[in-house]
Amino acid sequence: MDTRLQLQLKNKLESRIHKDMQSGCWVWLGGCNSSGYGCIWGGKRLAKQLLVHRVSLFVYEGISLGTITLTPFVFSTRIYG
Protein backbone atom coordinates (compact mmCIF):
# COMPACT_ATOMS: atom_id res chain seq x y z
CA MET A 1 0.00 0.00 0.00
CA ASP A 2 1.36 3.41 -0.96
CA THR A 3 0.92 5.45 2.21
CA ARG A 4 2.22 8.68 0.63
CA LEU A 5 -0.38 8.53 -2.14
CA GLN A 6 -3.01 7.51 0.42
CA LEU A 7 -2.23 10.57 2.56
CA GLN A 8 -2.28 12.94 -0.43
CA LEU A 9 -5.64 11.65 -1.60
CA LYS A 10 -7.03 11.70 1.95
CA ASN A 11 -6.16 15.38 2.33
CA LYS A 12 -7.68 16.21 -1.04
CA LEU A 13 -10.78 14.13 -0.33
CA GLU A 14 -11.42 15.58 3.12
CA SER A 15 -11.06 19.15 1.87
CA ARG A 16 -14.13 18.55 -0.31
CA ILE A 17 -16.39 16.76 2.18
CA HIS A 18 -18.88 18.17 4.67
CA LYS A 19 -19.51 15.75 7.52
CA ASP A 20 -23.07 16.29 8.75
CA MET A 21 -22.89 15.52 12.46
CA GLN A 22 -26.66 15.25 12.82
CA SER A 23 -27.27 12.68 10.09
CA GLY A 24 -23.80 11.13 9.92
CA CYS A 25 -23.74 11.66 6.14
CA TRP A 26 -20.69 12.82 4.26
CA VAL A 27 -21.75 15.33 1.61
CA TRP A 28 -19.46 15.66 -1.40
CA LEU A 29 -18.80 19.31 -2.24
CA GLY A 30 -16.35 18.73 -5.09
CA GLY A 31 -16.84 18.13 -8.78
CA CYS A 32 -18.96 15.47 -10.43
CA ASN A 33 -18.56 13.72 -13.74
CA SER A 34 -21.22 13.68 -16.48
CA SER A 35 -22.90 10.67 -14.80
CA GLY A 36 -23.22 12.52 -11.49
CA TYR A 37 -20.52 10.59 -9.62
CA GLY A 38 -18.17 12.57 -7.40
CA CYS A 39 -14.70 12.73 -8.88
CA ILE A 40 -11.31 14.00 -7.84
CA TRP A 41 -8.07 14.58 -9.76
CA GLY A 42 -5.50 11.92 -8.95
CA GLY A 43 -2.57 14.31 -9.28
CA LYS A 44 0.52 14.10 -11.46
CA ARG A 45 1.29 10.55 -10.40
CA LEU A 46 -2.04 9.06 -11.48
CA ALA A 47 -2.84 11.74 -14.11
CA LYS A 48 -6.56 11.00 -14.28
CA GLN A 49 -9.85 11.63 -12.57
CA LEU A 50 -10.81 9.15 -9.88
CA LEU A 51 -14.27 8.36 -8.55
CA VAL A 52 -14.66 9.57 -4.98
CA HIS A 53 -16.23 6.37 -3.64
CA ARG A 54 -13.22 4.41 -4.91
CA VAL A 55 -10.77 6.90 -3.43
CA SER A 56 -12.52 6.67 -0.06
CA LEU A 57 -12.15 2.88 -0.03
CA PHE A 58 -8.46 3.23 -0.86
CA VAL A 59 -7.90 5.92 1.78
CA TYR A 60 -9.93 4.47 4.65
CA GLU A 61 -9.89 0.71 3.97
CA GLY A 62 -6.64 0.25 2.03
CA ILE A 63 -8.38 -1.39 -0.93
CA SER A 64 -6.47 -0.97 -4.18
CA LEU A 65 -7.96 1.55 -6.60
CA GLY A 66 -7.84 -1.03 -9.40
CA THR A 67 -9.71 -3.83 -7.61
CA ILE A 68 -12.84 -2.08 -6.35
CA THR A 69 -16.05 -3.51 -7.76
CA LEU A 70 -18.51 -2.88 -4.93
CA THR A 71 -18.64 0.04 -2.53
CA PRO A 72 -20.38 0.21 0.84
CA PHE A 73 -20.03 4.00 0.88
CA VAL A 74 -22.59 6.34 -0.62
CA PHE A 75 -21.78 10.00 -1.07
CA SER A 76 -24.48 12.59 -1.56
CA THR A 77 -23.76 15.01 -4.36
CA ARG A 78 -24.69 18.68 -4.25
CA ILE A 79 -28.23 19.63 -3.41
CA TYR A 80 -29.61 22.33 -5.64
CA GLY A 81 -32.55 24.37 -4.66
pLDDT at 72: 44
Range of the domain at 42: 3-61
Q: 78 or 39: which carries more pLDDT confidence? A: 39
Kindly state the average pLDDT of the residues 61-73. 62
pLDDT digits (tens, 9 = 90+) for 15-40: 999 988 998 888 899 999 888 889 99
Is the per-residue pLDDT at 81 higher than 50?
A: no
How does the average pLDDT of the chain come out, rounded?
Answer: 79
Is residue 12 helix, strand or coil? helix
Q: Is residue 39 part of a domain?
A: yes
Instruction: Say how many CA atoms lie within 13 Å of 15 toward its Cβ.
Output: 8
Domains in the chain, number: 1
Q: Is residue 41 part of a domain?
A: yes
As a whole number of angstroms, the distance between CA 69 and CA 22 comes to 30
For the question of whether the overall pTM of this predicted structure is more than 0.95, the answer is: no
Q: Is residue 66 part of a domain?
A: no
